[in-house]
Amino acid sequence: LVPRLEPFTSTIFAEMTALAARTGAVNLGQGFPDTDGPPSMLAAAQEAIATGVNQYPPGPGRPELRAAIAAQRERYGTTFDPDSEILVTVGATEAIAAAMLALVEAGDEVVLFEPYYDSYAASVALAGATRRVVSLVEAPDGRFAVDLEALAAAITPRTRVVLVNSPHNPTGTVFTREELAGIAALCVEHDLIAVTDEVYESLTYDGVEHVPLGTLPGMAQRTVTISSAGKMFNCTGWKIGWVCGPATLVSAVRAAKQFMTFVGGAPFQPAVAHALDTESAWVEGLRADLSAKRDRLAEGLAAAGFGVRPSSGTYFICADVRPLGFTDGAELCFDLPGRIGVAAVPVQVFTDNPDRWRHIVRFAFCKRDDVLDQAVQRLHTLA
Ligand code: PMP
Ligand code: GLN
């Protein structure tokens, strides 16, 4: 293995899911739902397989899916040309890696907000580039907020891309319009490309609005917008993702993508197109369910003695382990499955500054209520 990839040999999600399986623990570590997506979408995939949609789809993705993605983005007031401004990818993960390979050169710098989703650092390393990390800061109400001064300080003449994930995994923070406007202003001032990861775009709660960075003034021409069907329709294993943006940037990402997987997921593409076109009420139901699950887990964690932080989106809620007398989230997370039968993820592994994040662990609430209740019951035995 080349040295620059040595830090990335195994992911915390694989480790924790394996540990949960070995110990029979309730898995609130890896974020994936334990119920299926809309029945009409599942039927559409079966129909596609049965009717021969099993060969290579077109390089940019099947036309009905690109049209459905363009129609879905209209809700934000943005129009993308399905033929030149949309690319279907093998999940958001491939889109992020392809964007890095296509847009940054060895030696360039990419700014990430920490804690960062694990594939970002690995994708920057794949491209031979260097990451510059800006920590989210804990506001007095416990929300993890954007520090615009720290962002400004992290930008150098080598900076090429700012990668922005909102709604944010692992904190559950949804970046505010003001925070995004601050990021946009710095991108414009320094002529940077923004790559956005919006895979949780439909999962915001309490009326909190998801604002795509690419909709802000000056940003459309410099933003690569990435999303995916996995979280929108409970189909994380289908790996249908997409890239939207100006034709120049999308065709650059496509140039890299075509030599990574070329294409993927043929029969799932029409099924996701069908879901985008017809299942927005189902997604609203999912959002309501997840918001109730967030409340359920938040109350349970608080009652078990954790210092629960606010989450306005995603599958995740963060908690401070210090009120229970622990100091190191990683130690706790590796101990919990064997000791009480619950798996969670330490947030420090998503950072370059583990000391700042050592006390925070992430729990996934995208699980059936009985699963959440069982986890909470077990966590009560910690106190
Ligand atoms: N970005 C974030 C923030 C995620 O949490 C995930 C994991 N689900 C992904 C990207 C990967 O998305 P996909 O499964 O579509 O590759
Ligand atoms: N996105 C999921 C999470 O954050 C995990 C996906 C993966 O295992 N790579 O838990």
pLDDT in tens, the chain (383 residues): 999 999 999 999 999 999 999 999 999 999 999 999 999 999 999 999 999 999 999 999 999 999 999 999 999 999 999 999 999 999 999 999 999 999 999 999 999 999 999 999 999 999 999 999 999 999 999 999 999 999 999 999 999 999 999 999 999 999 999 999 999 999 999 999 999 999 999 999 999 999 999 999 999 999 999 999 999 999 999 999 999 999 999 999 999 999 999 999 999 999 999 999 999 999 999 999 999 999 999 999 999 999 999 999 999 999 999 999 999 999 999 999 999 999 999 999 999 999 999 999 999 999 999 999 999 999 999 97
DSSP string across 42-82 = HHHHHHHHHTT--SPPPTT--HHHHHHHHHHHGGGT----T
The most distant pair of C-alpha atoms in the chain lies apart, rounded to whole Å, by: 59
Residues 112 and 89 in one domain: yes
Q: Residue 90: beta bridge partners? A: 240
Q: Ligand 1: does its nearest atom lie under 6 Å from the Cβ of 227? A: no
Residues 138 and 264 in one domain: yes
Among 277, 301, 331, the domain boundary falls at: 277
Show Cβ contacts of residue 350 under 8 Å, excluding neighbours closer than 6 positions.
12, 114, 115, 116, 117, 118, 170, 357
Residues 18 and 74 in one domain: no
Show Cβ contacts of residue 122 under 8 Å, excluding neighbours closer than 6 positions.
5, 8, 97
- How far, CA to CA in Å, does 291 sit from each of 152, 199, 316? 34, 17, 11
Among 260, 277, 294, the domain boundary falls at: 277
Q: Ligand 2: does its nearest atom lie under 6 Å from the Cβ of 169? A: yes
Q: How far apart are CA 226 and CA 242, in angstroms?
A: 6
Residues 209 and 230 in one domain: yes
Q: Ligand 1: does its nearest atom lie under 6 Å from the Cβ of 170? A: no
Residues 173 and 288 in one domain: no
Residues 65 and 170 in one domain: yes
The predicted structure's pLDDT at residue 383:
79
Instruction: State the closest ligand 1 atom to the C-alpha of 315, by its place in the atom list counted from 1.
Output: 5
Residues 347 and 246 in one domain: no
Number of other CB atoms surrounding residue 56 within 10 Å: 9
Measuring CA to CA, which residue among 305, 312, 303, 304 is closest to residue 365? 312
DSSP string across 278-290 = H-HHHHHHHHHHH
For the chain, the domain total comes to 2
Instruction: State the closest ligand 2 atom to the C-alpha of 236, by its place in the atom list counted from 1.
Output: 6
Residues 232 and 136 in one domain: yes
The predicted structure's pLDDT at residue 58:
98
The predicted structure's pLDDT at residue 20:
95
Among 250, 277, 304, the domain boundary falls at: 277
Residues 43 and 130 in one domain: yes
Going 353 to 354 to 356 to 362, the CA torsion angle's sign is: positive
Task: Give the CATH number for residue 259.
Answer: 3.40.640.10
Q: Ligand 1: does its nearest atom lie under 6 Å from the Cβ of 91? A: yes
Ligand 2 centroid to 32 CA: how many Å?
A: 7
* pTM over 0.95, yes/no: yes
Residues 252 and 173 in one domain: yes
Residues 239 and 286 in one domain: no
Q: Residue 364: beta bridge partners? A: 316
Task: Give the CATH number for residue 297.
Answer: 3.90.1150.10
Testing ligand 1's pocket by substitution, the residue of 169, 225, 240 carrying the most ligand atoms inside 8 A of its CB is 169
Testing ligand 1's pocket by substitution, the residue of 32, 231, 232 carrying the most ligand atoms inside 8 A of its CB is 231
Q: Ligand 1: does its nearest atom lie under 6 Å from the Cβ of 146? A: no
Domain that holds residue 291: 3-37+281-382
Testing ligand 2's pocket by substitution, the residue of 17, 30, 123 carrying the most ligand atoms inside 8 A of its CB is 30
Are residues 27 and 16 in contact, defined by beta-carbon separation less than 8 angstroms? Answer: yes
ipTM for the complex shown? 0.97
Ligand 2 centroid to 30 CA: how many Å?
A: 5
Residues 181 and 218 in one domain: yes
